[in-house]
Structure 1
Amino acid sequence: MVHAFDFTAPDSYILNCSTLLTELPVLERAQAAKDAGFDQVEFWWPFDGNPTPTSAEVDEFITSLENAGVELKGLNFWAGNMAGGDRGMVSVIGAEDDFAANVAIVVEIGRRTGCRAFNALYGLRTEGQDPSGQDSTAAANLDLAARAVAEIDGTVLVEPVSGAEGYPLKRYADAAEVVAKVRSEGPANIAVLADFFHMSVNGDDVAAVIEVEAANFGHIQIADAEGRGAPGTGSLPLRDWIDRAYALGYTGQVALEYKQDRATAFDWLSHVTQTA
């Protein structure tokens, strides 16, 4: 069945509250998303790079979602110090214990919020660590994460990323290879996150990937290029790509993961409730 997708309606999308509304504290962003017309949100790991926040901190985060009346539809696993340049800890040798502890907290957040999609950023190639050893570490960590979130019918997502030279998963095929390796050894609840911005910037023929892989996408995120701004600020045919993905069997949702100031971030959408 072809998904009926309204490209300009806020409630068609999941809003990423870690790339948007960043002028506000994390605990105020869910309400700001709701005020802007969005009922569904996703976050990168929202605890300042700490893999094991306190129960009180987790409670505060979940309460901010509940009070706003929004659904948490996506959450990243701990990814290290993103502001400091980290892009995930899945493949970093020596971080296994912290990652495992983080997985347990992610599962609990998923259980309490209904979130079922969990993005595991792969991590950078690290000086002094053998790349094959890092890949083996990543496979083990992803296996652990997938088995853990399976308890709540969750899915682990793996994505290609741009803008970080040391990040080894540049194109869709790179992420798909990692997913296939994990699946071959056990859990099937792992899929590629198709971020059309990252894929395009890294040289993927996004339209061609959609033709072959759309039904296998675990999630779609969008931003325009160049610039990673809102749809319409660049040259990517995002509407065409989304429509084609659904026509070819994609059954998930679309998340807005672009970067733009709060004052103008949603000007491209129709029927937006203006925030104060």
Structure 2
Amino acid sequence: MYRFLLTPRWWGIHVFVLLAIPVCIFMGSWQLGRFEDRVQSHNAAEKAPDPATRKAEPLASLLPVDQRTSGRPAAARGRYAEQFLVPGREVDGKTGSYVLTLLRTDGGKVLPVVRGWIPKGTKAPAPPAGEVSVTGELQASENAGSDGVNAAGGLPPGQVGMISAAALVNLVPYPVYDAWVTLPSADAGMTPVPAAAPQNSGLDLKAFQNLGYTGEWFVFAGFVVFMWFRLVRREAEALEDAELGLAPEPDATSADTTADTPSETPSAPLPG
């Protein structure tokens, strides 16, 4: 009865099932691994010491920025150069602008430094003159569309939409570090900007989305197996019915209609 499973059409179905199940299991395991990484990063962040109590390290020793070095205090020396405003940023529930000043280091490369936050319509204080030493919490360059960051194209001169080397390198004549720091204290008239959590870390909504996707992929794998058994059963039942000679009964309505239809054979003429 099950010889149909060896037909070419069914071989194609078998191959699809054998490929779909491992793919679903792999994708579900990958999403589960991402959720576990988020849990580990969250636990590590909970156990990490307060950045204010940690010793600052040279900037070069913390680059490139990753989940391990993000938020750690970095130290750099240089002279402040160009200054920009980053509009549309919230601090304590209020919208304003970051005051972003570029620190030109001895090597000629500049480090973006967020010196503080100011309310909308407020003039940014000028940066200190001469050589300065800064210590701030290290952050990775922002990407448009991530964590509410908007590139905000078409801004007036002196403003940038996001803090990234890609956005600043077109505005200044020297190379820019692919990182930035936010100072723990701000000058008068500005509010310090707290460091943000590293991207793709912590138990946020995206983390639980990964957990939801894990369940979906395993459900897909089970659905593939269920449909395979269902198709096999339907095919076997159809072949069994065919062998028993079972056929659908004639429609009673059509039979009655046929019986009531007058014969088309002309009747014999009556004798005159």
Q: TM-score, structure 2 length as denominator?
A: 0.25
* Structure showing greater Rg: 2
